Structure 1
Amino acid sequence: MSDAAATTSTLATPTARSFTANRLFPMLRAGLRTAETFSPTSAAARVAARVFCTPVPTKLATRHFRPPTGVRVESMPFENASLTLYRWPAPADAPMVLLTHGWGGWGLQMAPLAEALAERGLAAVTVDQPGHGRSGAWHSTLAQFARALGYLGDRLGPLRGVVGHSMGGSSAAVALSRGLAAERLVTIASPTDLVQVTRDYANAFGLRETTRQAMVRYLEAREAVVFEQMSAHRTAPRLAQPTLVVHDRADTAVPLVEGLKLQALLPQAELMLTDGLGHRRLLKEPAVTQRVAAFLA
Structure 2
Amino acid sequence: MSDKIYFNTSEKFNLRRSLINMGTRVHHKVAPKHARKVARQLLLTPVRSQPKNAEPEGLMKGTVASMHGELTTYTLGTGPVWVLNHGWSGTANQFFPLMEYIAQAGFTALAYDQPAHGSSGGAYGHIPAFVQGLEAVLDSVEEVAGIIAHSMGTASTIECKHHKAINSPLLLIAPVLEYLDNLFGSVQRSGYSMKLFEEVVKEVSVEYHYPIHSIDPYGKLKMRTQPTIIVHDKADKFTSFAVSQQAANEMDKVTLVATQALGHGRIMNSDPVKQTFIQLANRK
TM value normalised by structure 1: 0.82
Q: Mark the CA change 1:49 to 1:265 in structure 2 (over 3 Å): closer, same or farther.
A: farther
Counterpart residue number, 1:68: 56
Between 1 and 2, higher relative CO (CA 8 Å, sep ≥ 6) is seen in 1
Counterpart residue number, 2:13: none
Counterpart residue number, 2:42: 51
Aligned-partner Cα distance in 2 for 1:29–1:133: 30
Paired residue secondary structure (1:156): coil
TM value normalised by structure 2: 0.85
Q: Mark the CA change 1:152 to 1:260 in structure 2 (over 3 Å): closer, same or farther.
A: same
- 8 Å Cα contact 2:116-2:124 kept in structure 1: yes
Correspondence 1:235 to 2:235: no
**How many residues end up aligned between the 2 structures?**
276
1:279 partner letter: H
Q: After superposing the two structures, state which structure 1 stretch, 282-291 or 70-79, moved more.
A: 282-291
- 8 Å Cα contact 1:190-1:258 kept in structure 2: no
Paired residue secondary structure (1:115): helix
Paired residue secondary structure (1:180): helix
Give the C-alpha shift of residue 173 in structure 1: 0.7
Of the candidates 39, 58, 68, which is equivalent to residue 31 of structure 2?
Answer: 39
Deviation readout 1:172-225 (Å, 9 max, x if unpaired): 1111x4533443111110112332233224313323443233222112111211
- 8 Å Cα contact 1:189-1:247 kept in structure 2: yes
RMSD: 2.8
- 8 Å Cα contact 1:75-1:85 kept in structure 2: yes
1:69 partner letter: E
- 8 Å Cα contact 1:5-1:200 kept in structure 2: no
Counterpart residue number, 1:189: 174
Gaps of 5+ in 2: 11-15
Of the candidates 215, 229, 233, which is equivalent to residue 248 of structure 1?
Answer: 233
Give the C-alpha shift of residue 268 in structure 1: 0.7
Aligned-partner Cα distance in 1 for 2:271–2:191: 40
Q: Mark the CA change 1:79 to 1:25 in structure 2 (over 3 Å): closer, same or farther.
A: farther
Q: Mark the CA change 1:97 to 1:31 in structure 2 (over 3 Å): closer, same or farther.
A: farther
Aligned-partner Cα distance in 1 for 2:118–2:240: 26
Aligned-partner Cα distance in 1 for 2:83–2:225: 18
Aligned-partner Cα distance in 1 for 2:19–2:130: 28
Q: After superposing the two structures, state which structure 1 stretch, 268-277 or 180-189, moved more.
A: 180-189
1:35 partner letter: H
Give the C-alpha shift of residue 295 in structure 1: 1.8
Counterpart residue number, 1:80: 68
Correspondence 1:147 to 2:135: no
Counterpart residue number, 1:109: 94
Identity of counterpart residues, as a percentage? 23
Aligned-partner Cα distance in 2 for 1:196–1:202: 10
Q: Mark the CA change 1:111 to 1:39 in structure 2 (over 3 Å): closer, same or farther.
A: same
Q: How does 1:251-266 map to 2 (within 5 A)?
A: 251-264=236-249, 266=251
Counterpart residue number, 2:5: 8
- 8 Å Cα contact 1:88-1:118 kept in structure 2: yes
Of the candidates 164, 169, 172, which is equivalent to residue 180 of structure 1?
Answer: 164
